Structure 1
Amino acid sequence: MFPEPPARPPAGTAVRRPAPRRCARARVLCFPHAGGTAGAYRRWAVEAPWDVEWAVVQYPGREDRYQEPAPTDMAELSGAIARELLADARDAVPLPTVLFGHSMGAAVAWEVARQLTAAGREPAAVVVSGRPAPALSRPGTVHLGSEDDLVSDMRRLGGTGGGILEDESLMAAVLPTIRRDYQLIETYRPLPGAPLRAPVTVLYGDRDPEVDQREAEGWREATRGACALRVFSGDHFYLEEHRREILDLIVGEGRRAADAVSEAWPTMP
């Protein structure tokens, strides 16, 4: 079954559907890392199976939202995304949704999940990657440094091709947004609000300098639901190396949620 072509999103909206699934039983909503874009996850969306639609959040300040300033405050960013999701009337009954976030995106996903929970639209599950538990967030000052400091930290983390980092004109265009993303996550502390009840799965690389085992296990305190950990070989950007396995894992969460809804609402004889 071929995916339908994506529609052009309204100006100012966050959610992108690179490969819509007309017959989806569940959705995954992906939150990229600092400096990340929705376009980087197009391959994930295309490879997702017919019954689970993969959507991606496009933060302001990049790609088709380049003219919008990137937020430097978590409450502003997560609040805008949560309001958009709550106002989405595409489905009479919203599909079970799994939130997935990597690095900065993990914190954004968790905060959005809490706001959805408070509004009675609790996600089916949350999958977080490459990020310490919210209560163990590490402060940072890279956003206060020079452009060379920003580029140096991007090299440290990997995930960005050296050719891109050497492209002066491209970096001049994107570094202001990356600096604002760094500021948001380096100054982030958990926001007040409702506790999360959804199950959480925590993923991280065994050589990731941004999160260790203790910080990953701290996610157990970030939800009243179940919490499971998975360790992969690799550094902070281990995702692409293990894309197929991680995609299957997240899709599995969506299918379990869809099956649970089917069991709760049996078909008529």
Structure 2
Amino acid sequence: MNARDARRYASGTWLRCVQPRPEARTVLIAFPHAGGSATFFGAWGERLPPTVELTAVQYPGRLDRLREPCVDDVHRLADGVLAALRTRGCTAAGRRVALLGHSMGAVVAYETALRLEGLGVRPVATFVSSHPAPGRPRRSALTEFTDHALIAELRRLGATPAALINEPDARTAVLAGLRSDYRAVARYRPSPGRLSTPVVALVGADDPDVTPDDMRPWTERTTGPMTLHVFPGDHFYLTPQRDAVLRAATAYLDGAGAPPRA
């Protein structure tokens, strides 16, 4: 990362903490899916216990970062999040960090966790949702990134309201972010090494793109334990199953010990 990127990445614009809880012992960093934004996790914070503070990642080129160019590289996204976490003091001793990423966000969270461990900060857990383990093939992947192909993908997944897709200005912004993210996933090659952090894999039972069997190889990406939770629903099971997911995450975090150091 060059000096200019480091200054921009450390600006704090990467992170959104809707409900600050300075006394919370754990900060849960949430990474959105391809084409998503921090608002996907907007209502999560208030449903977590006082011991957990939720901070969501805002990728460049989304909403209030719309004037910034999108980043089509998973490693650069992880670098940006890491710099922002260090600036915010989230990596300071005495406060635990956990990460949760959905779909593309799972591999950005994984790469961020690797970088945190490289600094001597071992996350208490890394929750990875609806994305095969790094290096494993994806069942469904776009081979072209035209507007037509991207719109068809949005409609297939049902991730974006139809009114937004049909509004020209909004559609342009949505497709720019989605195109960048799909390119990032297509080009992604994992960093060397494995985590020592526990990995908790999450998936929808009826996800057409990622099955529970696709998630099990996450065990190869950590020397720590890996557990798998299967929820009712499709690729975006997180929406109807939000409370069940938060209960599972909270139970795991409550059972963890003191802030670990790598």
Tell me if the contact between 1:86 and 1:116 (Cα under 8 Å) persists in the aligned partners: no
Tell me the equivalent position of 1:261.
258
Count of matched residue positions in the alignment of Structure 1 and Structure 2? 251
CA separation in 2, counterparts of 1:210 and 1:148? 20
| C-alpha displacement of 1:71 | 0.8
CA distance in 2: counterparts of 1:138 and 1:92, whole angstroms: 36
Paired-residue identity, %:
37
In 1, Cα distance between equivalents of 2:242 and 2:179: 27
> Residue 127 of structure 1 aligns to a residue in which SS?
strand
User: Radius of gyration: which is bigger?
Assistant: 1
Q: Which residue of the partner structure matches residue 115 of structure 1? A: 115
- Secondary structure of the residue that 2:131 maps to in structure 1? coil
Indicate the residue corresponding to 1:267 in structure 2: none
* Deviation of 1:136 (Å): 0.5
Q: CA RMSD in A?
A: 2.1
Deviates more, 1:108-117 or 1:183-192: 183-192
- Structure 1 position 216 matched with structure 2 position 215: yes
Letter in 2 for 1:112: T
Shifted more, 53-62 versus 131-140: the winner is 131-140
> Does the 8 A contact of 2:12 with 2:84 survive in 1?
no
Q: Which amino acid aligns with 1:48?
A: L
The normalised TM-score by structure 1 is: 0.86
Amino acid in structure 1 at the alignment position of 2:48: A
Equivalent residues of 2:102, 2:131 under 8 A apart: yes
Match of 2:248 in 1: 249
Q: Residues 144 and 117 from structure 1, CA distance in 2 versus in 1: closer, same or farther, beyond 3 angstroms?
A: same
Point out where structure 2 has 5 or more consecutive residues left out of the alignment. 1-9
Aligned to 2:247, what secondary structure does the other structure show? helix
Mapped to 1, the partners of 2:159 and 2:216 lie a distance apart of 24
Counterpart position of 1:236: 235
Cα distance in 2 for residues equivalent to 1:244 and 1:107: 23
Structure 2 Cα separation of the partners of residues 26 and 156 of structure 1: 36
- Describe the SS at the equivalent of 1:261: coil
Q: 1:179-212: per-residue Cα shift (whole Å, max 9, x none)?
A: 11111012212123x4201111111111112212
Q: Deviations over 1:217-254 (max 9, x none)?
A: 11111111101111111110011111101012122233
Q: Which stretches of structure 1, 4 residues or longer, exceed 6 Å deviation after superposition?
A: none
CA distance in 2, matches of 1:169, 1:261: 48
Cα separation, partners in 2 of 1:143 and 1:230, compared to 1, 3 Å: same
Give a deviation string over 1:23-44, Cα, whole Å, max 9, x none. Answer: 2121111000011111221100
Shift of 1:60: 0.6
1:166 pairs with 2:163: no
1:1-269 counterparts in 2 under 5 A?
11=11, 13-89=13-89, 93-138=93-138, 142=142, 144-192=144-192, 194-257=193-256, 260-261=257-258
Secondary structure of the 2:234 match is coil
- Give per-residue Cα distances to partners, 1:38-96, cap 9 Å, x unaligned: 12211001222222101111111101211111111112111121232234336852411
In the aligned structure 1, how far is the partner of 2:32 from the partner of 2:75?
A: 17
Structure 1 unpaired stretches of 5+: 1-9, 265-269
Taking a change above 3 Å as real, the CA distance of residues 91 and 203 of structure 1, as seen in their structure-2 partners, is closer
Which amino acid is 1:127 matched to? F
Question: 3-state SS of the aligned residue for 1:22?
Answer: coil
After TM superposition, the score normalised by the length of structure 2 is 0.89
Q: 1:209 to 1:92 in 2, by over 3 A?
A: closer
